[in-house]
Amino acid sequence: MKYMLLIYENETNYAGEAGEKLLADIIAQHMKLGAELAASGIGWSGSELAPTFTAATVSKDGIVHDGPFAETHEQLGGYYMVEVPDREAAIAWARKIPLSPGGKVEIRPTGGHG
């Protein structure tokens, strides 16, 4: 079953010199996780997302709004798509995702299957 592991963090955690150092460390940890996923033999993909100021939201009536749909403290910053046997395996991989302080990972099966 495929699961999206959605990474939510506060973008301000990566601001300034300390934030740049944190980002470099987090990216290095993501590279290690990518290597671990590849070595595991499971199907996976993933990517970071550009900052929220680059986002646009299109409503049903076709109106385009600048910015993300939700205004929250945490923003969707990236994702992993993993193909694992079950929810427990998805949770195990989600626990390995590097996060900045306060970050969270939402786990959601694809295709409406639970």
- pLDDT tens string 39-87: 999 999 999 999 888 999 999 999 998 887 776 678 899 999 999 999 9
Look up tokens 């969270």; give the residue: 104
pTM summary value? 0.87
Closest CA to 7 of 108, 86, 97, 114: 97
Residue 26 has a CB neighbour count (10 Å cut-off) of 22
CB 104 within 8 A of CB 8: yes
CB-based contacts of 100, cutoff 8 Å, min separation 6: 9, 10, 13, 14, 22, 26
Q: What is the pLDDT at residue 73?
A: 73
The third-level CATH classification (topology) of the domain covering 2-112 is: Alpha-Beta Plaits (3.30.70)
Is residue 113 predicted with pLDDT exceeding 60? no
